[in-house]
Every structure is written in structure tokens, then in C-alpha cells.
A and B are shown apart, each in its own frame.
Chain A
Amino acid sequence: MTMYQENAIVLEHQPIQGGYQLLQLRAPEIAPHVKPGQFVHVKVPHLNEAVLRRPFSVFKADGDTLAILYKDVGKGTSTLTHLKYGESLNLVGPLGHGYPEMSEGSFPILVAGGYGMAALYLCARSMPVKGVAFFGGRAARDILCVKEFESLGWTVLVTTEDGSMGQKGKVTDALDPWMAREGAVLKPEFFVCGPSGMLKAIASRALARSWKAWVSVDNNMGCGVGACLTCVLKVHDDEKGDWAWARACREGPVFDASDIIWESID
């Protein structure tokens, strides 16, 4: 796993819906090496008072191009929205350990909160078996790229908290009855990306029934390469029968749900 630093060139940058932006970049060094669930660390241009980069999951990677799907949520992302065609963007990547290949004989289930689906797209595309994807969000504007996942062969089940699209409620309101109906005959394997509450909800279900679950955590990061120790979270250290810190940027961002000490996650 080699990291690169390069000036990527903006090929396309457009708002898609509800404050979400799709940024396509030519990044010939990084793009060919991206694995599902990895991220790039972005130096936001024209924001010199920001000393840290911003991490973004890689949404798509094809040949020498890659795409990032993000939401304008703060100063960094807001400044990023002004980036134009042909401008350059300094990236470090690909970073971190992403999702593993699904295990043989398992039935893959994707669970995504909001733009969490961006981290799951490459995973969804590469899996030999297409299962069910649960997409949750506050409202219809937070549900992204359903058609793209469907065209890969996935069944997408949508929930929104305000009921403006799909079933009203949280992803678990759709997932639980579905698992009760279909889950008994399957060996499910979960691939999850979303807010920590959602990760916790899926992890607790998976751990209770010994289902495999891979979760991508969204911790604040500093360096992105494992040096600064900002993004650490508590994991089980089975060798010592104790806990240890793991770096979201290096050992993660994707973890086996059974490794994380969930009581320590807010």
C-alpha cells in the first residue's frame, strides 16, 4: 500500500442535490491504486488559515480519474465548492485500510447513512454477489445515487426520517423486519458507512448474532498518515486482554465491528 502526493486536476465539479457536490479529478498517481473504502487527504485551496487537510472517501476510481462526493458542511467544504474546472487540488492518497473482499458464501448487505454511500460504491461494484443496500437519511435530498447502485445489480431499500422518500424512519426500521423475514436463511455480511449512531446500531445487531460487519468510522483526522495520533479510537487488544488505540487513518477507517470498543464511541 503505497501513498502518493499529487496535484490532481478538476475534470468536473457540480452540485448534485441538497448541498451535495460531485468532484471528479484526474489523479494519475493515486487513482489506479485506490481500493474500496480508502480515502484521500485534501488540501483545500484558498484556505490558508487551515493547517489541516480534509479527508474524503473515494467515491469512484476508474483509470487515472477519481471522484469525491461530499456535502457542504463547514468552512473547508464550503471553500472547496468554489473549485473550478481545470484547477488543481493537492491530494495525498490512497490512505487507510478499506473494506475487505466479502467472504465466500456470505450475502452482502450495505448500510449507508447520507453520503456514506460514497465510501461503499467501489465495494458494491467489485463484489461478486450483489445483495441488498439500505440507504438512510434525514430527507429525500440525503438519498444519493440509488439508480447507480441498482444498475450494478443491488436492491436498494430507502428510509428517510421525515418520510419524504421510501419508508419513514431509520435504516434499522427497514433492516430489522427485512432480516426477520429473509435473514434466517442467509449468512449476512455487513458493509457499513454512516454516522456513529448508525454504526453502533448495526454493530450491536451484528455482534449479538455473530454476523460479520465492517464499519467505516468518521473520526476527526490530523495528518492522515498515522503520525499525529489525532484520530485514534479504542479497540480490543486480544493478545493482552486489554484495550489499545487504533488509528482511524491507518488501521482504519474500516474496522471489523467486533474489534471496536463500542462503549467508548460517542
Chain B
Amino acid sequence: MNATTNDQSPVDLSVTIGGIKLKNPVMVASGTFGYGPEYADLVDLNKLGAIVVKGICLQATRGNPTPRTAEVESGLLNAIGLPGPGVDGFVSTYMPFLRQYDVPVIVNIWGKTIDEYAAVARKFDQVPGVAGLEVNVSCPNIKEGSALFGTDLDMFRRVIEAIRSSTRLPVIPKLAPNVADITAFAKAAEACGADAISLINSFPAMAVDIKTRKPKLANITGGLTGPAIRPIAVRLVWQAAKSVKIPVIGMGGITCLNDGLEFFMVGAQAIAIGTANFTDPAAAETIIEDLRSYLVAQKYASMREIVGTFSP
């Protein structure tokens, strides 16, 4: 009997992102995986590179009215509006569950003011089981401020500096795609002490119901995700990755390994699966297995060897 099993695969899938050790470079993206338990029946959480939970702010929030999403060609428009249990609600309701697993938990945080961002970061600093903070400076669906933090370079710097000085946890700003020069934001994140960056967040967008002449979202505008935005994301990840030394987490419409490989090749050290979790809850696990097979077939010893191999 052949003793070789998958677990003893000669390929090293592990990566370290801003000090967070991941057993593989495939995460699930914030807002598409709830807080973990929602998918626990369908996905072996221990197999994921990391879980990035839905955005958390200081207080419990209700989010936007309905309709909150609209399916469009090869994409999903959403304006959920970041409903959530707040820091305390999240920590008491979900952290005991998440601590049972051997998977890094990255908490996506947001606030309406710089002080709120800093306060949330400070609170999570004391919470066991939290591996890092992804900073949502770019949710297009919050009226007060948040989108501005992602598109105004000065505001962006101030919020990242405030968070940096409030926590020892790895800080990962999530960049907005709708800026003229992504490298300015990537460099600013690095200069302000960020440990990694992730991109892209959803792209501001809208759709009209031509029968009623009304918007398809109650919020009128929303964020576009899914395969429709992938080429935009690949371009931005390429530009951002070239401009900084800190690791880049790439995301935007990844549905399969080939999609993910584009991101690795242009410089992402890890990727996140978002909307594809809705289409196929097994997507992330499938991509991890397919990545392993690909690396074996291509005779790579480590996943890190394919990062940045794009050759224009």
C-alpha cells in the first residue's frame, strides 16, 4: 500500500501575512462568511487559511433597509450597510465558537470617526483568539465617513495611524478600488505601520429596475462584487504589490484556482474568497486542494515561489 497521503504532501502551502501564520494562503473574505458558524456545517473551518469575519464597530448596528442585494451579470450588488452585534456582542457570541478551531481569526473593523476606529482596535487588543485586524476604510454603503476614509489620502493616514497606536495586533487596511492612484494608499498604509494590505473592497455601483424606474437597492448605490470586478482587482493588486514591501492579500471575484493564480502571479501572497462562498460554499476548500495539486504538478516546493512570477 502506498503510504503517501495528502497531509504529507511535499508542497508547503503556508504563508506569513503581517506576522499571522496561515497554513495556506486562501482566506474567506469579510462580509461573505458571517462570523463562522453560519458555514460550519458545510466548510471544514480548520482547512481555511484564515477567517475574516463580517465588519464590527463599537456598537450593535442594524444596517440598511431592504432590498439589500441585487444579482447582476457575473456579479452581486450589495448595500447591506454593516449590521452587526458590536464589539462586545461579537466577542461574547462568536469568539467562544471561533476559538474551538485551529484557524486564524481576522476581525474586520470599522467606525464612523477616527476615535471609534481606534476604540474598536483597542478593545480587540485584549481579546484572546483574534489574530489580526482588517480595517474597513472602504465600505461604500455607510453614509457617515467610512467611504471617505478610503478615498481621501489624509483621512486614510489619520485613521491607520490612530489604529496602529491603539493595538499590537497586525493591522491590515482594506483598500478601496475607486481611487486614482492605488499605490499612494498602499504606500501610505506601509508608512503608517500597517502589517499588510488587502484589496479590493467592492466597487461602488448601482442598477435600475427599468419597469419601476427605481433603484434595485434600497440604498440606491451599493458595492459590486463577484467575477465582474476581477480584472479591475488584478490590475489594482498588481500596482499595489509593486509599490510596497508589506504582504498583499488579493481579492475580487475569485471563483476557482485559475482566478486565484492571477492574483498570486501579480504579487498577492494570500487571496480571499468572497462572493464565491455564496455560489459554492466549498469554493475555498476546493481552491486550496487545487492549489496543492497545481504546485505538485508544476514541481514547486512552496507556494511562495509562484508569488510575483508575472512577467510582462
Contact = CB atoms under 8 A, between A and B. Distances in A.
Interface of A: 2-5, 43, 48-53, 90, 92, 219-220, 222-230, 232-233, 245, 250
A227 B277 contact: yes
Contact of B62 (A5, A43, A245): A245
Contact of B278 (A3, A219, A228): A228
Contacts of A230: 66-69, 78, 80
Interface in B227-276: 227, 275-276
A24 to B, nearest CB: 23
Given A229-B80, A230-B69, A5 B281 contact: yes
A40 to B, nearest CB: 13
Contacts of B83: 229, 245
B41 interface: yes
Contact of B281 (A50, A92, A245): A92
Given A51-B275, A230-B68, A225 B74 contact: no
Residue of B69, B73, B227 with most chain A CB atoms under a 10 A cut-off: B69
Contact of B42 (A3, A43, A49, A53): A3
B279 interface: yes
B66 A52 contact: no
Contacts of A53: 278-279
A82 B80 CA distance: 34
Contact of B34 (A90, A220, A226): A226
A222 B68 CA distance: 10
Given A50-B71, A225-B34, A230-B78, 7 more contacts: A49-B74, A51-B71, A51-B76, A227-B39, A227-B54, A229-B83, A230-B68
Nearest to B36: A227
Given A227-B32, A232-B66, A245-B62, A52 B279 contact: yes
Contacts of A228: 31-32, 34, 69, 78, 80, 278
Contacts of B69: 220, 222, 228, 230
B110 interface: no
B212 to A, nearest CB: 12
B279 A227 contact: no
Given A220-B69, A245-B83, A52 B278 contact: yes
A5 B75 contact: no
Contacts of B278: 51-53, 222-224, 227-228
Contacts of B38: 223, 225-227, 250
24 contacts: A2-B41, A3-B41, A4-B41, A4-B42, A5-B42, A49-B74, A51-B276, A51-B278, A52-B279, A53-B279, A222-B76, A223-B32, A223-B38, A224-B278, A225-B281, A226-B38, A227-B38, A227-B39, A227-B277, A228-B78, A228-B278, A229-B83, A230-B67, A245-B63
A149 B280 CA distance: 35
Contact of A225 (B39, B54, B73, B226): B39
A4 B39 CA distance: 10
Contacts of B282: 5
A49 B33 CA distance: 21
A182 B66 CA distance: 40
Residue of B67, B80, B278 with most chain A CB atoms under a 10 A cut-off: B278
Interface string B25-38: 00000011110001
A227 B42 contact: no
A223 B275 CA distance: 9
B41 A43 contact: no
Contacts of A220: 67, 69
Contacts of A43: 279-280
